[in-house]
Amino acid sequence: MELNLKNKVIIVSGGAKGIGLGIAKVLAAENAIPFIVGRNKNDNIKAVAEIASSGAKVFQTVAELTNPSACEQAVAAVVQQCGRIDGLVNNAGVNDGVNLEDGSYERFMESLHKNLVHYYLLAHYALPLLIKSKGAIVNISSKTAETGQGGTSAYAAANGGRNALTREWAVELLKYGIRVNAIIVAESWTPLYEKWISSLSNPEEKLKEITSKIPLGQRMTTPEEIGNTAAFLLSEKSSHTTGQLIHVDGGYVHLDRAL
C-alpha cells in the first residue's frame, strides 16, 4: 500500500532508541522525513546515521523535554530546518516505577513531566504548522493505564492522560481536519526493557514467563510493528480514523490469557 508520506516532515519524540527509532525507520522507508527529538546528542546522531545510510532524509534536535521551554525550542528547530510539520508522534517517556506506597509528590510530578506534560507541549507548539498541513498526531501509550501493573502509579496516570488527550484533541481538532489517535503498547523489546530484564536475578525465566502470556505467537511486539501502525495512522490511508486507542500488542490486553 502506498501511504503517500513522501517528504512529509514527522516529529518523533524519543526517536533515537527503542519504539521511537522503530517508528522513525518505518517513516524513512516510506520516504517521509522523520525529525528525531531526543535528550542525548550522541544517541540522536547515531540514529540519524543509521537511517541516513539507506539514503533517507532525517534530522534531529537535542531537547530535554521535561523542560517546557525545550519543547518550544524543539518545534522551532523543526520549523527552521524544514519549514513545515506534517505529523507528530509523541513517544518519549519511561516507566520509572513511582508507586503509591513509597513515592512522593516530587517524584510523582517529575514523572508526569517525563511522560505526559511534553505530549501536550509539543502538540501545542506544533499545532499552527499542523493546521496548515492538516497533519496528524499519534500518541504512543501503554497498557498500564488500562490493566494496571503495580508499583508504577505515576506512569499509569501519565498514560491515562495520554489516552484522554487523544480523545480530547480528536474532538478539538475536528474543525481543522487533524486526526489524533493513540497506539497502546503492551510488551515490546527495547533497550530500556532489556536493561530492566537484565537487572533481575532470573532474566531468562522472567522473559519466558512474560512472552508466554502474549496470545499471538508468544512473542513481544517489535518496534517496527508499532512503526507500521504509526505510519498508517499518519497517512491519508487512515483518513476517517480519529480518536482511536489502537492496541498493537499481540492480543495481550483483550484476549484470554489462557490461550
List pLDDT tens digits, range 122-176. 999 999 999 999 999 999 999 999 999 999 999 999 999 999 999 999 999 999 9
SS3 content of the chain, % helix, strand, coil (to 5): 50, 15, 35
Confirm whether 125 is a catalytic residue: no
State which amino acid sits at residue 58.
Answer: V
Residue pair 186/247 in contact (Cβ under 8 Å)? The answer is: yes
Distance CA 124, CA 110 (A): 20
Look at residue 2 and tell me whether its pLDDT is greater than 80.
yes
* Per-residue model confidence (pLDDT) at position 116: 98
Grid cell digits, residue 150? 503495580
pLDDT tens by residue, 50-77: 999 999 999 999 999 999 999 999 999 9
Distance CA 26, CA 173 (A): 26
Distance CA 204, CA 221 (A): 18
Q: Cα dist. 61→13, 64, 137, 168, 233 in Å?
A: 10, 10, 19, 28, 24
In this prediction the pTM is: 0.95
Query: Exposed (0-12), middle (13-18) or buried (19+): which is 159, by Cβ within 10 Å?
Result: buried
Look at residue 257 and tell me whether its pLDDT is greater than 80.
no
Q: Among 89, 93, 173, which residue's Cα sits nearest to residue 138? A: 89
Look at residue 242 and tell me whether its pLDDT is greater than 90.
yes
pLDDT tens by residue, 81-91: 999 999 999 99
Cα dihedral 189, 194, 195, 201 sign: positive
Burial 164-200 (b: 16+ CB within 10 A, else e): ebbbebbeebeeeebbbbbbbbbbbbbeebeeeeeee
Three-state SS at 226: helix
Look at residue 1 and tell me whether its pLDDT is greater than 90.
no
State which amino acid sits at residue 182.
Answer: A
pLDDT tens by residue, 194-220: 887 888 888 888 889 889 999 999 999
Q: Please identify which of the residues 119, 125, 155, 252 carries the catalytic annotation.
A: 155
